[in-house]
Amino acid sequence: MNDNRNRTPSISPAAVVVAAIFLLVSVIGINWFTSFVPVVLPPQASAESKSVDELFYVLVIIGGIVFFLIQGMLLISVIFFRAKSGDQSDGPNFHGNALLEIVWTIIPAGVVVFLAVLSFNVWMQNTEPKATVNLIDGDEVKINVSGARYAWTHTYQTGRIDPNGAQIVINSGDKLHTYIGQNIELELRTQDVIHSYWVPAMRVKQDLLPGNPATGGRPTDIRFTPVRVEGETYPASYPIVCAELCGDGHGRMTGEVIVYADESQFLQQFYEPAIYAIMNPPADPVLRGEILIQEYICNSCHILDSLGWTSRTGPSLNGIADRAGERVPGQSAEEYIVQSVWNSQAFVVPGYTEQMAAFGPDQPDANAMSAEQLYAITAFLCTQGEQTDCDIENQTVAIPAAINTAFGLDVDITFGQGDGAESDSSEAPDED
């Protein structure tokens, strides 16, 4: 034993040959393995996806080679250098091999640096701001995404003006509409906790970070350009999911990217109809409300069978019109609904907490709600009941003082056209 103490291990030629064979087998095996990867990955639906996938292949190949090489060496050691039966002695005592140690430090260090440079390159390339973004009909349109437990909301600041002089904002709910070749740039904000906007087919993912609510949170952005996918029929749909565990409804926090074949299909099937609908709302406020309410994230917290909502963070809205008049003494059904939406904290339904998001004229994009929109939404909710207590004809609902104070508003909402003469905000297009 003693004569072994300061021995330097020698590397036998046989070991080198075995290692070389393993390296070869690993390379071939990994190449064969990666030929299956395209089947596993979603379609490459963005210009960015190719470089991301190539980076992924390089990582899998290098990682695979290292894995198989180490496991192979381990296996060889276990088989060829095992103790012979009856051998109770200690093994030879080695004191390192400077050459080996240098080699096995330099190679991994080199590999890590190589991967870092490669990854940084792909990242820089894919996140680089484009000269023109969100081009629609020759204009750059700002598109904001809002994440809230548990829904995504997309809003397009169209730059077009409605008859009242206000900018037309299209709220497309959980769907992002785009077309092949459009450079998309989204500004993301969360209304509560950290979420992560992930579109696997576009190979992009970006966290939404809470910030100072007074400044509207802390925006992050994400960029990608949809490209044509072989054999796809357009408009095509690709899932959006939340990639940051954000609560018990995290799994429900999904959406869709709808990709149109070209700009004209996008304009015809999404953009112009959306603007037309805003410019020419149905005369019936109930109908308007039914359309509007689906643009907000109410579905992420409430059950409402008539619209297929299934979420349980808040009370069910089935039959709300029957209960609304009995919730707060002295408050009519329509007053209660108005208050519930604009200032839900004023009365918290027993058994629930103050979790409902705020909606109102001063709220950020996804939660912005004008008096006219609130009027229509209330009119719709007033139809959700058996013998609704709401009277949406000839009624003026005074906005509760608390809301006036909070929003600095002084408006009433008029239902129908009758006595509500003194109202100063009934810009609801009158019907009947």
- Name which of 188 and 356 has its Cβ closer to ligand HEC: 356
CB of 147 to Cu ion, least distance (A): 6
> What are the DSSP E strand ranges found in 123-217?
135-136, 139-140, 142-148, 151-161, 167-171, 175-179, 184-190, 195-199, 204-208
302 binds, among ligand HEC, Cu ion, none (CB under 5 to 8 A by kind): ligand HEC
Residue partners of 154: CB distance under 8 A and separation at least 6:
143, 144, 145, 171, 172, 173, 174, 175, 176, 177, 186, 255
Q: Which of 57, 26, 265, 297 is nearest to 154 (CA)?
A: 297
Total residues at interface with Cu ion (CB under 5 A): 4
Measured CA to CA, the distance from residue 129 to residue 224 in angstroms comes to: 10
- Name which of 226 and 285 has its Cβ closer to ligand HEC: 285
- Name which of 183 and 384 has its Cβ closer to ligand HEC: 384
- Name which of 344 and 425 has its Cβ closer to ligand HEC: 344
Tell me the torsion sign for CA atoms 94, 98, 99, 105: positive
- Name which of 76 and 303 has its Cβ closer to ligand HEC: 303
- Name which of 146 and 183 has its Cβ closer to ligand HEC: 146
CB of 302 to Cu ion, least distance (A): 18
Measured CA to CA, the distance from residue 384 to residue 376 in angstroms comes to: 13
Give Cα 174 to chain centroid, integer Å. Answer: 9
Q: Which of residues 195-214 bind Cu ion (CB under 5 A)?
A: 195
Cis peptide before 239 (omega within 30 of 0): no
Using CA atoms in the order 114, 116, 118, 124, what is the torsion angle rounded to 10 degrees?
-160
End-to-end CA gap in the chain: 106
Binding to Cu ion by residue 253, rule CB under 5 A? yes
CB of 319 to ligand HEC, least distance (A): 9
Binding to Cu ion by residue 242, rule CB under 5 A? yes
CB of 101 to ligand HEC, least distance (A): 58
State the residues that interact with ligand HEC by CB under 6 A: 149, 293, 296-298, 300-302, 313-315, 317, 320, 323, 327, 337, 340-341, 344, 348-349, 352, 354-357, 359, 377, 381
357 binds, among ligand HEC, Cu ion, none (CB under 5 to 8 A by kind): ligand HEC
CB of 175 to Cu ion, least distance (A): 17
- Name which of 188 and 320 has its Cβ closer to ligand HEC: 320
The H or E element spanning position 329 is none
Q: Which of 53, 50, 56 is nearest to 228 (CA)?
A: 50
Q: What values do phi and psi take at 350, rounded to 5?
A: -55, 140
CB of 32 to ligand HEC, least distance (A): 49
Specify the stretch interacting with Cu ion by CB under 5 A; choose among 151-159, 168-176, 194-202, 409-417: 194-202
CB of 148 to ligand HEC, least distance (A): 6
Q: Which residues bind Cu ion (CB under 5 A)?
A: 195, 242, 246, 253
